[in-house]
A = this chain, B = another copy of it.
Amino acid sequence: MHVVVPFDAREPKTRLSPVLDPGERREFARVMLHSVCSTVEATGHEPTVLATADPDIEWPVRVDDRSLSDAVNAMLAERDDPVAVVMADLALATPAALKRVFAADGEVVLVAGRGGGTNVALARHPDFRVDYHGVSIRDHRERAAAIGVDPTLVDSFRLSTDVDEPADLAEVLLHGQGEPTAWLRDHAVEVAVSDGRVTVQRNE
């Protein structure tokens, strides 16, 4: 199985701007990428980073500056072996959670992201293609059905949590043990309760 971790280095994570400045957002995005790649490696697979520009990282990199969907689909079209696409901002991913996905039966295995995204897609069928635009989990289920595949959905809170907004950082602080959690603590990002909702604040 070929495991791909797409990474867009251009202006990452703008919705975190209430908490992190542009330089911090770039650094944190890279910390998450490193963490996801390490987690993939801990499952026994070597990740390939599919990046818009070379991120200078210790795993193989393929540079493709097209859209996420186009770059992933080019890779899917090339390869004969199963391909797993794991988002680079899954700061709560653990080897155990990813192993559940990689071990799941089915020609198409999907993990939903909160908010309609697709945080992991594992294609064992040659005709499956991705479209990350819009409510992609719905589209991916329909695309699987269109090629005669009943997709397998893996139920994981850890993998459903991609990091886009300040509230997502609270999840990372509450449930993470890895590099992204340590980075947030080092940068004085703390869990805060405001109006009954959990979010984060800077304490400095």
| A134-150 contacts to B (CB < 8 Å) | 134-135, 137-138
Q: A70-111 CB contact bits vs B (8 Å, 1 = yes)?
A: 000000000000000000000000101100000000000001
Residue pair A135, B97 in contact (C-beta under 8 Å): no
**Min distance, Cβ A142 to any Cβ of chain B, angstroms:** 12
| A154-169 contacts to B (CB < 8 Å) | 155-160, 167
Q: What are 15 A-to-B residue pairs whose CB atoms are below 8 Å?
A: A94-B155, A111-B157, A112-B157, A112-B174, A112-B175, A114-B114, A115-B170, A115-B198, A134-B193, A135-B191, A135-B193, A153-B175, A155-B156, A155-B157, A157-B159
Name 17 extra pairs, CB < 8 A, besides A112-B157, A135-B174, A155-B156. Answer: A96-B155, A111-B157, A115-B170, A115-B197, A115-B198, A116-B191, A116-B198, A135-B191, A135-B198, A137-B175, A153-B175, A156-B156, A156-B157, A157-B157, A157-B159, A157-B160, A160-B160
